[in-house]
Each structure stands twice: as C-alpha cells, then as structure tokens.
Amino acid sequence: MSTSLTRAELARMIDHTLLKPEATRADVAALVEEAVSLGTYAVCVSPVMLPLDTRGVRLAVVCGFPSGKHASAVKAAEAALAVEQGCDEVDMVIDIGRAVEADFAAVRGDIAAVRAAAPAPTVLKVIIESAALTDEQVVGCCRAAQSAGADFVKTSTGFHPAGGATEHAVALMRATVGPDLGVKASGGIRTADQARAMVEAGASRLGLSSSRAILEAWA
C-alpha cells in the first residue's frame, strides 16, 4: 500500500486509544479533545467510560478485553450494552487459547455471538493477538473472523507479553482476508516510521496512543 499519505489522511486512519486500567474520565475527556484537534477517525476506550460525548469523532469500545477469556454470552452482552450506549465500533478479543488449539470453529462461534449482538452498521473488529500465534493460527483466526461476518481483523490488545503489531503479521492478515476486510495494526506503534511500515504492510486502520507524536513527525 502506498504511504504517500498526507498528515490529515493518516489521521483519518487512526483510532486514538486510551485503555489503561488507571484511566480516569478526565483522561478520556482529554483524549476526545485531542482526537478532535488531530482529526483522528475514532477514539477507542474501555466500556466503563460510556456513555461518552465524542464531539463527532467515532466511538470504538473494547469487548472481552484484554484476555478474551470471557464466555461468548458475556462478550455478546458487553457488546450489546456498548451499542445501546452509543458506540459505533466494537473491538473484541477472541479466546486466544482456542486459536492455539486450532479450534477455529469455536473462534468463529465466539465472533458470531458478538456479531449477532452488535449487528451492522456497528463495525466489528476482531483482536487475534497475533504475536502469540503461529502463522497458521493467524490465518485460521482471520478466516474465522471473515466467515463470522467481522469487518476488521486486528493484531493486538497491546497488553500481551508476546508483543504487539508486526509488519509480518499485518501482511499475513491482509493476504488472508484480501480487500474485503479491514486490517487494524495496534500495539507498540510509537513512531512515524513504525506507522508507515504498518500501512505499507497493508493496515487500513491504526490503533495508537501516541497519535500526536506520530502525526507531528509524519512527512
């Protein structure tokens, strides 16, 4: 993918993110203000922060975060509540252990439960924690997400000790889902060079907490 993007075009690919457990409502209000000033596409926050006035910026909310070790019914209820409270997008975490076991039918079922609870036009992004998986497991998760009706596959929570987004994982995810699904790179992207590499690898959305620094360094 070309990276001849203007700063404004890059901003429109960013989910400006704050998911620290210690984040306060004042912190989230400041996040929204910064998102508005930077022109980012969305903010991404924890569900406890809803309802939230995002001043026209799209609102993404995490689900089953960060471990994914929640019953599908619980994830579905969490997603439904987030939609009821005004979110535009849901970023759900799969059960990573099921992927490691290559039980992709279970992965698909988990995603499908959330999709049913948060139907279109809500955008559903599926976090697969790619750094914790083999290439084969990444491919299996992407196919499960595609089959279950997701809109995006997403690399990482940013909380797993295995690490965050890599160019390799983004390229593999893009090759697997083709042009039909979005690919969101998130986790550990802190510089303009890293953001550029993710876009070149095929990312169509970036989850960033260092949005201002990256945009100011973009050239």
- Is residue 29 within a helix (H) or strand (E), and if so which, with residue range? helix 25-38
Q: How far apart are CA 71 and CA 77, in angstroms?
A: 10
Catalytic-role residue among 15, 125, 151, 184 = 184
Catalytic-role residue among 15, 91, 95, 151 = 91
* 91 catalytically annotated: yes
Closest residue by Cα to residue 17 from 107, 64, 38: 38
Per-residue pLDDT at 4: 86
Strands 182-186 and 205-208: parallel
- Tell me which amino acid residue 112 is: A
6-53 per-position pLDDT tens digit: 999 999 999 999 999 999 999 999 999 999 999 999 999 999 999 999
* 20 catalytically annotated: no
Per-residue pLDDT tens listing for the chain (219 residues): 446 899 999 999 999 999 999 999 999 999 999 999 999 999 999 999 999 999 999 999 999 999 999 999 999 999 999 999 999 999 999 999 999 999 999 999 999 999 999 999 999 999 999 999 999 999 999 999 999 999 999 999 999 999 999 999 999 999 999 999 999 999 999 999 999 999 999 999 999 999 999 999 997
Q: Residue 33 CB: number of other CB atoms within 10 A?
A: 12
CB of 125 closer than 8 Å to CB of 150: yes
Domains of the chain: 7-217 (3.20.20.70)
- Tell me which amino acid residue 102 is: A
* 125 catalytically annotated: no
